[in-house]
Amino acid sequence: MDTVMVTDMSGFLQEQAAQAPDDIKEFYYAIEDLHERRLWKQLTDVLIKFFDDPKSLSSRYALFFQFVDSFHANINQLKYAYMGLKSIESCSNEEALKSLEAIKQRIDKEKSIDAFVYTQCAIARVKLVLGDSEAALDILTSISKIIDKFDYVEGIINAAYYSVSADYYKSKGDFAQFYRHCLLYISCIDLGVQTGQELLEKAIDLSVAAVLGEIYNFGDLILHPVFEKMVNTEFQWLHDLVIAMNAGNLKEFEALVGHVHKLPLLKDAIPFLGQKIRLLALLELVFQLSPSQRLLSFKTIAETTRIPTYEVELLVMRALSLGLIDGEIDQVAEIVRISSVQSRILNKEQIANMETRLREWSQGVKNLSRVVETSSKGVIV
């Protein structure tokens, strides 16, 4: 889309108002009044409302590039960039990229690094959509280094960075990185402004990433309200599968695994899922034990994970190599000594179990204290 420099702003706004839908005409009158009085902050606030209104979609580009651009140096640069991004929503990807580069050139990077980063995130997204993933990654890498130096990061910038990063890792099939960045993204946004379908899609994508990635605790996903968007839908089985795997519940997993053919990514990964649920069952077994009882026989592990005894050593070695547990294997005695287990985000049931164990520990300390006190009577100091 080509733009022409406008000199008569009042005439331009009146012309745009005449062409605009009736529902947004009032915006133009307010914008003209505030612009004539040079009330930049108030003008910016009205403009933001205009660009956020769905009915303004076809009118945004002209208003931004032929009007807002004329006084961009007088307004908050992050809000300027935000309006610029809203203005290109009706453009093709090629036009959007060209316009974003123009917006970036108008931003003073030294004085408004936040606006620069926000615009760069948008450029990375368009490049990713256009298939230039290497360029997108280069931009994301540079953005990450800049953000790391910030004392404070606006939520809108974090959301933009994590969103496009999640899209990049999704395109590469990196489930663990997608899971991490997508969770960070949905933690930065107002879920109330997202549609139910958008939230459901996020829940599905995160759940698939959770079970397919090298991730062995999904507590952060299970506790997030987005996860519940799958309840009472055709994806209820996926919701239940994630919970079953997180708990290392083999019985429930085997009852649900027949549904995985509904999603091609999961259907092709059944062997991996089988190995992963057994690792998670081992983790849950260890986690349920007190530190003083973490001496497990091969037989106990085999019964819990439903594998032959001769496969236990390989399973434990896999858990050790992934850093899920620390300990040692006694091959002769066929026992495993566990010294520690990977920290976990707990659900309510696990928290209740932890409370019980803490109470038992506290009682043990009291009992030991009484023994020491009794034994020390009569000792002359």
Q: What does DSSP assign to residue 22?
A: G
CA dist., res. 144 & res. 161, Å (int): 8
Confidence at residue 5, expressed as pLDDT on a 0 to 100 scale: 47
Q: Determine the pLDDT at residue 81.
A: 96
Q: Tell me which of 91, 124, 157 is where a domain ends.
A: 124
User: pLDDT by residue (tens digit) across 71-80?
Assistant: 999 999 999 9
Do the Cβ atoms of 140 and 124 come closer than 8 Å? Answer: yes
Amino acid at 91: C
What are 328's strand-pairing partners? 337
In a domain, 190, yes or no: no
Name residues of the chain where pLDDT drops below 70: 1-7, 292, 344-358, 360-361, 368, 375-381
DSSP class of residue 86 equals H
User: What would the DSSP string read from start to end of 38-72?
Assistant: T-HHHHHHHHHHHHHSGGGGGGHHHHHHHTGGGGG
Residue 7: its pLDDT value, please? 57
Q: Which residue type is seen at 341? A: V
Q: What is the rounded distance in angstroms from the CA atom of residue 141 to the CA atom of residue 222?
A: 29
The residues, ordered by sequence, that sit 6+ positions from 292 with a Cβ below 8 Å of its Cβ are none
Residues 125, 106 contacting (CB under 8 angstroms):
no
Smallest CA-to-CA distance from 83 within 113, 37, 122 is with 122
Domain membership flag for residue 37: yes
The CATH number of the domain holding residue 356 is: 1.10.10.10
Judge whether 80 and 115 are in contact, CB under 8 Å.
yes
Establish if 253 belongs to a structural domain.
Answer: no
| Domains contained in the chain, number | 2
Q: Is residue 150 one of the residues assigned to a domain?
A: no
pLDDT of residue 152: 85
What pLDDT does 74 receive?
A: 94
pLDDT of 88 reads 95
pLDDT of residue 346: 60
| Residue 204 within a domain | no
Contacts of 48 by beta carbon, 8 Å cutoff, 6+ apart: 79, 82, 83
Tell me the residue type at 77.
Q
Residues spanned by the domain of 62:
1-124
Q: Which pLDDT score is estimated for 268?
A: 87
The per-residue pLDDT for 367 is 72
Q: Would you say residue 339 lies in a domain?
A: yes
pTM score of the predicted model: 0.83
Q: Residues 77-96: pLDDT tens digits?
A: 999 999 999 999 999 999 99
| pLDDT in the model for residue 353 | 63
Residue at a domain's end among 64, 92, 124? 124
Integer Cα distance of 216 and 342 in angstroms: 9
Q: Is residue 307 part of a domain?
A: yes
What's the N-to-C CA distance of the chain in angstroms? 93
CA 255 from chain centre, in angstroms, equals 29
Token readout for 381 is: 């100091």
End position of a domain, from candidates 90, 124, 158: 124
Is residue 77 one of the residues assigned to a domain? yes
